[in-house]
Structure 1
Amino acid sequence: MHFYGTSKINDKGHLEIGGVDTTILAQKYGTPLYVYDVGLIRERARGFKKTFDQLGVTSQVAYASKAFSSVAMVQLAEEEGLSLDVVSAGELHTALVAGFPREKIHFHGNNKSEEEIKMALNEQIGCIVVDNFSELFLLNSICEELQRPISILLRVTPGIEAHTHDYILTGQEDSKFGFDLLNGQAEQAIEFSLQSNHIQLLGLHCHIGSQIFETTGFILAAQKIMKQLNIWKEQINFKAKVLNLGGGFGIRYTSEDEPLPAAKYVEEIVKEVQSQATSLGMEMPEIWIEPGRSLVGDAGTTLYEIGSQKEVPNIRKYVAVDGGMSDNIRPALYDAKYEAVLANRPLDEIEETVSIAGKCCESGDMLIWDLPLPKAGRGDLLAVFCTGAYGYSMSNNYNRIARPAVVFVEDGEDTLVVKRETLDDLVKQDLPYKKKVCK
């Protein structure tokens, strides 16, 4: 049995997180319930930042808030000295309500609206990551209209795609994101930015994939970008102050996953960029990274109450919980794998293998196939690990199921940070319709 962060079995034989008994959390806040181990989030954030500091490299570690965005989470990121990535007006508004320092906010996205760009400029955020020519031209015109300057990074596709244990070296021209590094588009975008009176081009950004368990892809991306930057330094006098190598650092969902420590990713990235800068005679750029899942993914646990069961003789046994694809759509979308235990009886002997079904009216609403468990009955508490990233942020109201509450736990204290939706919340935006009768 593998536990994460501060999770352990307490003297009552229950699963405990952050010093708080999960059975008490379920009684107090109901289920389904997202529980975040704040101590583990802090540990991960400090691991990234400490390594940069030890290596003496100017850096920014920006939390990719798409993984899990809430006012409390943004405030926690600020406490740990992180910058913040947002990808919509909603995420930016959340950051502003949380009081996050505007100068440390980076705005991403491949289709920022005119309203979103104006919002970012009026709030004087730190940086916009520009994704395409359409956005670049629109941004420049809005800057002129509002007479506001803005710092930007240009997102490029370096021809590296990495996922889990694999990486693929391709042209990468067919992507909805970024300027191709080698077909001339990135250079055109750089030249336009350098000529603008309102845009300050800080450098380049790339993102090569997600759930990456090795450093090869990051090293290859750094090599390609640094060599191209050296060419541009000579040809168009462009010197990048910042190189943002994105995120995608993997976490452990199941025993099959073998991620690297945060420090290892940082060490290898810094080593390669320094090596390239030295060999090419370039100044060392600031290095920015964007961890999201790797900060909050395995810090999150979802608690469910077990309900009905169905046994198909000689095939399988289904055990249903009071949530499902409405609070964790990743198994249905990506065939994502998870591990789980009975939170109220984690030490009981394993007696059977069951499949955990959600309550949505979809055959595909299955959370875990073939999970070893003790004999479970109605009212038992199931804890599904590593649901902290893209659980709440991708939750939905399918079948008009209310979204769960979110609780932070740390040092024996629990704090409600997102209220559970009510049935009235589900209809608060609805308007009545009464057909007009012609007389």
Structure 2
Amino acid sequence: MVSTQPAGVQLSGRQYLSPTSTNKVNLSPNQGLLPLSAKINHQDHLEIGGCDVTTLVQKFGSPLYILDEETLRTACRQYRESFQRYYQGEAQVLYASKAWSCLAVCAIAQSEGLGIDVASGGELYTALCAGVSSDKIYLHGNNKSREELRYAIESGITIMADNWRDLQQSVELAQGQQPVRIMLRLTPGIDCHTHEYIRTGHLDNKFGFDPGDLDEVFAFVSKQQTLNCIGVHAHIGSQIFERQPHQDLAVLMVQWLTKAATYGLNLTHLNVGGGLGVRYIESDDPPSIEEWVKPICEVIQAACKEENLPLPKLLCEPGRSLIANACVTAYTIGSSKEIPDIRTYVAVDGGMSDNPRPITYQSVYRAVVANQMSTPCTETVTIAGKHCESGDVLIKNAQLPKTKPGDILVVMATGAYNYSMASNYNRLSRPAAVVVANGEANLILQRETYEDLIRQDCLPERLKS
């Protein structure tokens, strides 16, 4: 979590704004630190979606997740339009809702023509309640419960079969019903440079059938009348900046389609997963959405031509690159502690319960002071959370202007895996979230209350005083 900014430079919050453009839709949202609509208003305050961030905190409290609808919709459209531009067959973009699953986010994604990739019965329920069509929902998971599989089958969605237990239980549950639509998740044995906890393509991981299982799996599936296997899926990890691993994956997956055909399986869908990285700090340099999509399409089309195969329906599952940079988290600054010749701590009213990624993945973030956007950054501080945990640090060596209690600190690019991994550690209530657009802010997640915290508690009669 060490900053790459040189200490002592007189920077300000202005450096994080997207380049001035009359057509910001051409900017790739995953390459910006602040949302596309971010600007500085006449009060020198940060404004997102036409809403003053300090005013939002006054109205909705803090910590507060602020989702910019323009940025999310732009990312959805860039994925969809890039596949239309570069792929000659049919394509479907799916939002990996594990990044942030809530009704509003799923509804925005589906309104932009995206399907939803879900990783649990709860995410499936959320997607269905948001109005997503069942034929555009795909269920993942390495240990799906029997209840989740039954729910998926009854809902008519596609199951991503991850292992033999998935296959066997699906066969059992499908008896007397229409054949269950499945895809096979396979491990490609492709490694990439990212955090070990979010690498999924190498052989030593919990997901998918191993390459040595292919013949046995294809043979089994080909004999099951209750299974309708439509394709194969693979995913190599998350927060990836390299392009070659995804191109290598595309070639390998076309070879799997050829092998499946020798078992009489006509697989028509190919899902290359997701994993495109985003910019969290200045030195991050991820490809744009278009730069990620284009070579994958070209490689698959060339490989299918060489194998004399019809183009499959091409699916992908972006999550982080759709939602991360569309959201910021606003905090209110409270206490501070200066340790001479060591560091200065500045504390905020949230921390590891609303953003566990720094303490879990050593993730790095940037921050600005929303009510001092043009004030030069003259201090190097460590932004600490309020939890009873020494490791509750959001950003080390942050470059900020001189702050005081009551200032509004904004941490950028917090849309992915912040709310979805949030907790009630120390019995803090999870924050509210708003979506902003055209100067209007709408609540999409209510702030939890103390009553919410004990809602599921049960107090036996013998313990009541």
Please give the TM-score of this superposition, normalised by the length of structure 1.
Answer: 0.95
Match of 1:156 among 181, 186, 198: 186
Q: Once the 2 structures are TM-superposed, how far is the Cα of residue 124 of structure 1 from its aligned partner?
A: 1.5
Q: CA deviation digits over 1:117-145, x for unaligned, max 9?
A: 111111112x110000011011111001x
Q: Where do 1:26-425 residues align within 5 Å?
A: 26-55=57-86, 56-125=88-157, 127-144=158-175, 146-164=176-194, 172-181=202-211, 183=212, 185-233=213-261, 235-425=262-452
SS state at 1:243 partner: strand
CA distance in 2, matches of 1:174, 1:136: 21
Percent sequence identity over aligned pairs:
45
CA distance in 2, matches of 1:73, 1:351: 37
Q: Once the 2 structures are TM-superposed, how far is the Cα of residue 12 of structure 1 from its aligned partner?
A: 1.4
Q: Once the 2 structures are TM-superposed, how far is the Cα of residue 186 of structure 1 from its aligned partner?
A: 2.2
Q: Once the 2 structures are TM-superposed, how far is the Cα of residue 24 of structure 1 from its aligned partner?
A: 0.7
CA distance in 1, matches of 2:461, 2:195: 57
Counterpart in the other structure of 1:2: 16
**Segment drifting more, 217-226 vs 306-315:** 217-226
- Whether the 8 Å contact between 1:164 and 1:250 is mirrored in structure 2 is no
The total of aligned residue pairs comes to: 430
SS state at 1:60 partner: strand
Q: CA deviation digits over 1:22-45, x for unaligned, max 9?
A: 011000000000000110000000
Q: Given the superposition, is the C-alpha separation of residues 165 and 334 from structure 1 closer, same or farther in structure 2, using an over 3 Å criterion?
A: closer
- Deviating 4+ runs (over 6 angstroms): none
- Whether the 8 Å contact between 1:172 and 1:180 is mirrored in structure 2 is no
- Whether the 8 Å contact between 1:163 and 1:210 is mirrored in structure 2 is no
- Whether the 8 Å contact between 1:408 and 1:415 is mirrored in structure 2 is yes
Stretches of structure 1 that go unaligned for 5 or more consecutive residues are none
> Larger strand proportion, structure 1 or 2?
1
- Whether the 8 Å contact between 1:230 and 1:280 is mirrored in structure 2 is yes
CA distance in 1, matches of 2:200, 2:168: 28
Counterpart in the other structure of 2:54: 23
- Whether the 8 Å contact between 1:163 and 1:209 is mirrored in structure 2 is no
CA distance in 2, matches of 1:76, 1:209: 25
Please give the TM-score of this superposition, normalised by the length of structure 2.
Answer: 0.90
CA distance in 1, matches of 2:463, 2:325: 54
Stretches of structure 2 that go unaligned for 5 or more consecutive residues are 1-14, 18-33
Q: Once the 2 structures are TM-superposed, how far is the Cα of residue 198 of structure 1 from its aligned partner?
A: 1.6
- Whether the 8 Å contact between 1:165 and 1:212 is mirrored in structure 2 is no
- Whether the 8 Å contact between 2:195 and 2:361 is mirrored in structure 1 is no
CA distance in 2, matches of 1:294, 1:323: 24
- Whether the 8 Å contact between 2:200 and 2:237 is mirrored in structure 1 is no
- Whether the 8 Å contact between 2:120 and 2:148 is mirrored in structure 1 is yes
CA distance in 2, matches of 1:33, 1:241: 43
The one-letter code matched in structure 1 to 2:58 is Q
CA distance in 1, matches of 2:387, 2:200: 40
Q: Once the 2 structures are TM-superposed, how far is the Cα of residue 161 of structure 1 from its aligned partner?
A: 2.1
Q: Given the superposition, is the C-alpha separation of residues 433 and 138 from structure 1 closer, same or farther in structure 2, using an over 3 Å criterion?
A: same
Q: CA deviation digits over 1:49-76, x for unaligned, max 9?
A: 0011122331110000000010111111
The RMSD of aligned alpha carbons is: 1.8
The one-letter code matched in structure 2 to 1:410 is A
Q: CA deviation digits over 1:269-292, x for unaligned, max 9?
A: 000001111112122111100000
CA distance in 2, matches of 1:110, 1:119: 16
CA distance in 2, matches of 1:262, 1:171: 21
SS state at 2:333 partner: strand
